Every structure is written in structure tokens, then in C-alpha cells.
Amino acid sequence: MSRTLSNQVVVITGAGRGIGLATARRFAAQGAVVVIGDLDDDVAAKAALQVGGRCVAHVVDVADRASYAQFVERAREQGPIDVLVNNAGIMPLSPLVDETDAATDRIIDVNLRAVITGTKLVAPDMTERGSGHIINVASAVGRIAVANGATYSASKYAVMGFSEAMQSELAPFGVNVSCILPTVVDTELAAGVSAAKGMRAVRPDEVAAAIVKVARAPRFETWVPAWSKGLFYSMNVLPRRVRNGAGHAIGADEALRAVDVEARAEYERRASS
């Protein structure tokens, strides 16, 4: 049964741009009260103005528990949190041997620890009320590991595992947990990254539409585009040697290695700061 989102309080991290901003717009169009969180106060404020309606914005560093906790408390000024979208994420790319320890820590802190922190912060109230929904934006790389993004892949694999555990843990209390797995998305995070042969980069609004659809009709795992899920599970039953050969044929094994370094330069600088 489809749920109404009107007057629901929806909190979205990393919502100043890209998928997060597109998602905020979609939820606002459904009549939700949207709370945008972003690391950059100017970006967050501008995003809230773009979304309009009853959208508000606050600064949050999801890698800092105190900052995340303060953000959640400010979000609760709009009412009990009905939906948390853990969207904030970073994707610095390099061979693992070239990745600094600081970069490793940052990827894990933003992509994984923040999802755990956000869940810890909102789950108690949700379970007490007997309702709520936590939607984690993972990645197709959370099911298909790719060279040159080992730590990123590890963080997204971990988000999938954590989410599966939390789905079982929270379902008896009426709280849903969902994961969204986009392929390459046309955002700054994927600057300079090409989709595999036969595929195109999806638009942020396509991912946003999937997130809102899941909020209305909860399900655990949603791929964007939808057909990529069937491709993954079909390939996954094949022997590894055959899977590797097929992946090489469509260029999937080079997706994060054959990148336009110049096109990614500004994103890599910002992701490491």
C-alpha cells in the first residue's frame, strides 16, 4: 500500500547538491517538510531556497557525531523525524597503495560511520513510535567491487551489510530500512567516470524518484536503473572467471580506473578537505 508523504518530516544529508538536492525537491513536491543537511552552510541555504515550501537547511558534518547529533536535534524542531535519507558520501579514487591513511579514514567516516551514527540517532524515537523509515544511499559498487575504488567499495559493501542487519533488527518495531543502489550518476562525485559499455550515466532526479518511490512503498533493495539489478543477479550465478570476462568485455573493471583526472581534480580536492 502506498503511503502519503504529506506533512512527513524528511531529513536528508548531503542535500546541498546532486542526488540529495533532487531528492529534497521530490519530497517537497509531495508535501513533506524537508530538512536539508550539508557541510557547506552557503550551499545548504541556497538549496533550501531552491526547494522552497517548508524546506529548512542546517550545517552538518556527518563524520562528526556531535555535529550529526546537533543536526538531528535541530531537525526535530519540525516534528518527529519520519524519514532519514543517509545520502552524504564521497568517492576519492586511486589505487589503494596511493591512498593516504587520512583519505581512507575520511571515506569510512563519511560513507559508513555516518550511516551507523544517523541510524543510532533516529532509531530510538522511531521504534518508540512504531514507525519510521531509514533510507541509505549505497551504490552498485556496494555489490560489485571495482578497482581503483577499493575503500569506497568496502564502505558501500559495509552499508549494505549494516542495512540488512538493521532491517531485521528494526522491522519488529515497525521501522523500515531500505538501500538505493545507483550505477554511475551524472553528479560531481562521478566527474570523469564513464559508464560501462551499453550503459549511460543516470540523472540525479532518477535516483531521487526511486528514493521517493521507496519512501511511499518500502522495499529493501532498489537499483537505479532498475534493470541493472537483474543484470547483477544474473551475472552473480556465473563462475567468477566468466563474470570477470564479461565485466572486462563491457569495461566494468576499468570504470573507476580509466577516469578523466583533470575533470575530477576539483571534486578530489573538495572530497579530501
CATH code of residue 60: 3.40.50.720
Q: Does residue 41 sit within a domain?
A: yes
Q: What is the C-alpha to C-alpha distance for residues 207 and 249, in angstroms, rounded to an integer?
A: 26
Instruction: Give yes or no: 152 in active site.
Output: yes
The answer as to whether 4 is a domain residue is no
Provide the pLDDT for residue 146: 83
Q: Which amino acid is at 62?
A: V
Q: For residue 229, what pLDDT is reported? A: 76
Q: Rounded CA gap, 117 and 62, in Å?
A: 8
Q: Is the pTM of this model over 0.85?
A: yes
The tens place of each residue's pLDDT in the chain, 273 residues long, gives 678 999 999 999 999 999 999 999 999 999 999 999 999 999 999 999 999 999 999 999 999 999 999 999 999 999 999 999 999 999 888 899 999 999 999 999 999 999 999 999 999 999 999 999 999 999 998 998 888 899 999 999 999 999 999 999 999 999 999 999 999 886 666 555 655 555 677 899 999 999 999 999 999 999 999 877 776 777 666 676 666 655 555 555 555 655 656 665 555 565 666
- Is 2 within a domain? no
Residue type, 18: G
The confidence score (pLDDT) of residue 200 equals 74
**Domain membership of residue 244 as a residue range:** 9-271
Q: What cell numbers appear for 28 in the block?
A: 517537497
How would you classify the pairing of strands 132-137 and 175-182? Answer: parallel
- Count up the domains in the chain and report the number: 1
At 11, the amino acid letter reads V
Q: How far apart are CA 23 and CA 99, in angstroms?
A: 31
Q: Where are the beta strands (DSSP E) in the chain?
A: 9-13, 33-38, 56-59, 83-86, 132-137, 175-182, 221-224
Contact present, 256 and 148 (Cβ < 8 Å): yes
- Provide the pLDDT for residue 258: 58
Q: Which of 68, 152, 157, 267 is catalytic?
A: 152
Cell numbers for 209, please give them.
524518484
